[in-house]
Amino acid sequence: MTSPAAAPSPATVLVFLDPAFEDGRLADASKPQLMATDQGATRGDGVFESLLAVGGHPRKLQAHLNRLAGSARLLELDIPAEEPWRRAITTAIREYRSQHVPGSVADDELVVKLLVTRGVEGSAMPTCWVQASAPGPAGRRQRETGVDVILLDRGYDSEVGERAPWLLLGAKTLSYAVNMAALRYAHAQGADDVIFTSADGRVLEGPTSTVLLAHLETVDDGAGGVRTIRRLITPQLDSGILPGTSQGALFTAAKAAGWELGYGPLEPHDLYDADAVWLISSIRLLAPVNHIDGKEIGTPELRRQLTAELNALYATIQ
């Protein structure tokens, strides 16, 4: 007797921000929806955000809306206010969940993307929509097993963002061809991911993630005993990297739990000397780094211990 086939995953849900539809306009994701002359397609001219919804609730929504607005300002894009986005997100999540009954807690995760293009050539109206879909299996696997990483030179020095703001290094733009090329290169080398470095030797970020590292230090507590200082460190934002919403939220939770916080500048030797390193992003969450350029970071036991501790803190974030 054959077992029943697994229920198919629900289709991607699209909801366009349309003034004629208060809660957004549902669209068929199996049919073309963008004009061939839309500048998001022809030039990659636009911005986006990706966030995780768990149990139907989007996480860190305000932080993502803030960053979307900041990216839009850098591109001089006039985008809708927050409320239409919130209504469209609610519509997308509700429609997706109406098609899908989760079989487990992990199965109740949903990727929600907010996308803006400059619109059709010759028009002054941006194209804006929300996309809801199932997360890929790789992200959850990498949370659990970790990643092997290589360092790649981004080709800019760490001060180029201030000298050349037109490079849009602090914006989350649709122009992701370089980031995807870096990941393909890493995969061809047998690695899972990349940490970019600057031409002057600073640690920057991953193609789709923020870099975190931890240092543990045992010190005299002044009463004849010892205590452990936990430090969580990330690269400096002024080095031309995207501000991480997940990193920011985790830093807030970690500070409340007694961690000390630091912001670079970081060089590759700081990664090699760390007790643990992670790549953190809104969809994959915390992915522990097992090796960088073939060198093991910390020990498996310490990586598991610290990852579990930070995951527990991250779980408190709304």
User: Which residue ranges make up each domain of the chain?
Assistant: 13-134, 140-314
pLDDT digits (tens, 9 = 90+) for 60-69: 999 999 999 9
pLDDT at 150: 98
pLDDT at 4: 42
Per-chain mean pLDDT for the chain: 92
CATH 3.30.470.10 fits 13-134, yes or no: yes
Do residues 88 and 23 touch, judged by C-beta distance below 8 A?
Answer: yes
The dihedral over CA atoms of 7, 12, 13, 15, expressed in degrees to the nearest 10, equals 180
Tell me the C-alpha to C-alpha distance, in Å, between residue 232 and each of 51, 64, 263: 23, 22, 9
The span from the CA of 43 to the CA of 118, in Å, is 9
299 exposed, middle or buried (CB, 10 Å; 0-12, 13-18, 19+)? exposed
Residue 196, both tokens: 């970019």
pLDDT at 5: 43
Q: What percent of the chain has pLDDT over 70?
A: 95
CATH code of 140-314, in short, is: 3.20.10.10
Do residues 307 and 286 touch, judged by C-beta distance below 8 A?
Answer: yes
Do residues 186 and 57 touch, judged by C-beta distance below 8 A?
Answer: no
pLDDT at 111: 96
**Positions in the chain whose pLDDT score sits under 70:** 1-10, 103-106, 224
Q: Where are the alpha helices (DSSP H) in the chain?
A: 39-43, 61-74, 82-98, 137-145, 160-163, 177-188, 245-256, 268-272, 300-314
Q: What are the phi and psi torsion angles at 291 (to 5°)?
A: -140, 145
pLDDT at 252: 95
pLDDT at 99: 87
